[in-house]
């Protein structure tokens, strides 16, 4: 019940295309859903995050879509660029400042994105 399942494992898109990565979860206690970008040899960097009270959040070329009833959320990267080539991780955690399980992120398995010029 603690798992977050991510797909696809790898993704190749052309420059200017749309990259879509999907995640699904089981634990209904999860209510904070961040996406992280990781380059080789570096730590994960937060891209964008969403809570279940909204169905979509957009920041620049990055959009999260959230479907609470299906327990699924996805990352869309518009106008994908070669510099976006990296590994992307979805994650989830129970929220609530100071809550018992605050900050215990459960990560998906990762998606290796390659954007061809």
Partner 1 sequence: DAGVTQSPTHLIKTRGQQVTLRCSPKSGHDTVSWYQQALGQGPQFIFQYYEEEERQRGNFPDRFSGHQFPNYSSELNVNALLLGDSALYLCASSLLTGDTDTQYFGPGTRLTVL
Q: In angstroms, rounded to a whole number, what is the distance separating the alpha carbons of residues 21 and 19?
A: 7
Q: Which stretch binds partner 1 (CB under 8 A): 12-20, 54-62, 74-82, 105-113?
A: 105-113
Rounded (10°) CA dihedral 80, 21, 13, 38: 70
Smallest separation, CB 38 to partner 1 (Å) = 9
Cβ closer to partner 1: 13 or 105? 105
102 sits near partner 1 (criterion: CB under 8 A): yes
- Tell me, by CB under 8 A, how many residues bind partner 1: 28
Smallest separation, CB 53 to partner 1 (Å) = 14
48 sits near partner 1 (criterion: CB under 8 A): no
| Residues binding partner 1 (CB under 8 A) | 6, 32, 34, 36, 41-46, 49, 89, 91, 93, 95, 97-98, 100-110
């Amino acid at each position: 019940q603690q798992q977050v399942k991510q797909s696809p494992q790898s993704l190749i898109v052309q420059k200017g295309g749309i990259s879509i990565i999907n995640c699904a979860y089981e634990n209904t206690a999860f209510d904070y859903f961040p996406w992280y970008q990781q380059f080789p040899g570096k730590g994960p960097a937060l891209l964008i995050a969403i809570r279940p009270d909204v169905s979509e959040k957009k920041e620049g070329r990055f959009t999260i879509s959230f479907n609470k009833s299906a327990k699924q959320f996805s990352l869309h990267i518009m106008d994908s660029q070669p510099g976006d080539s990296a590994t992307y991780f979805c994650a989830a955690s129970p929220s609530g400042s100071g809550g018992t399980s605050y900050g215990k992120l459960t990560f998906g398995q990762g998606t290796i994105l390659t954007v061809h010029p």
